[in-house]
Amino acid sequence: MKLSFHTDAFNTSFVSFDRCLEWARDNDVHWIECGLIDGVSWIHGLGYQPHIAMYQDPLLLRKHMEKFGVRFSQVDAAFPLSGVDGPAYGLPYVLKAIPWAKHAGCDRVATTDGLHRPEGLTDEEAMDLMKRQYERIITTAEAYEVIVTIEVHGYFTTKPEFLERMLAFVESPWLRMNLDTGNSFIAGQDPVAFCKRFGPKIAHVHVKDVSESLAAIARGGQTGIALSHCATGDGVNADNIKQCLLHLHSIGYTGHLSIECEGQGGPMLTRSLEWLRGALSELGIPEEKA
């Protein structure tokens, strides 16, 4: 499997995307995941945000990343598609992200729903709204041969019965799933059962642990964790992560494992990476490097 990390890890450090590339190079990590900004942001322009704006030339960025020996595992265009703002803002955002990702050498774009039941819509109305958007999205994804993943993150996607329907919105190999071990756990689900149910659909994995204190107050009451303040392996979800890795290995998954945690400027991310590498070694799962 291939190791990656989400640049969210450096959000609170107020550094640029280049700092993330340096960390990846220095820690022998060859894939990276980041959020996409559709427009201009002052904090990003000043170099205080570790994500990428789509006004940046994707081909030049790709060549720049090659100097660090790093490629994208996925780019994040996860504006909620389940609410009334989905068609107005989320859909154009994803449609713009797909060709940008292709030129940047990235073949996965993440999407998702909102954290809560959308105001003013029934569940079925929201599902119908998302279906029409994904039909349009996959038309573009097929043209560019870019996989669109649905991330386990919100009100609908953390419920297996809804997620199953979402993954069947369009019969296409370009519509897949991003498993999130932490979000499924905090929503009150069993991440291992989630992994086994959707295994063949999984095209990208967020490896996220959950602290004992957060689990005690929030499990079953939240659908997603913005940024886990817990190193991977230090929380109550560590054994579930190992069991997910075992199952993914058993079904032939060789894709990306993207670490998501508060990085503390690097140290907590380093600890997470060491634990994940150790877990792969313990389980007899090879780490693929570029």
* In-domain check, residue 289: no
**Which residues span the domain enclosing 203?**
2-283
The predicted-structure confidence for 223-253, as pLDDT tens digits, reads as follows 999 889 999 999 999 999 999 999 999 999 9
Q: Give the orientation angle of helix 238-250 with respect to helix 267-283, to 10 degrees.
A: 50
At CA 138, angle to CA 153 and CA 94, rounded to 5? 55
* In-domain check, residue 10: yes
Report the number of distinct structural domains present in the chain: 1
Is 112 in a helix, a strand, or coil?
strand
What is the Cα–Cα distance from 208 to 118, expressed in whole angstroms? 26
Q: By C-alpha distance, which of 34, 33, 46 is closest to 3?
A: 33
* In-domain check, residue 56: yes
Quick one: pLDDT at residue 46?
A: 97
Which residues of the chain fall below pLDDT 70? none
Does the predicted TM-score (pTM) go above 0.75? yes
Task: Please give the DSSP secondary-structure letter assigned to residue 6.
Answer: B
Quick one: pLDDT at residue 58?
A: 98
The count of residues in the chain is 290
* In-domain check, residue 210: yes
* In-domain check, residue 290: no
Torsion angle (degrees, nearest 10) of CA 74, 279, 23, 54: 10
* In-domain check, residue 83: yes
* In-domain check, residue 77: yes
The CATH number linked to 197 is 3.20.20.150
What is the Cα–Cα distance from 82 to 76, expressed in whole angstroms? 16
* In-domain check, residue 36: yes
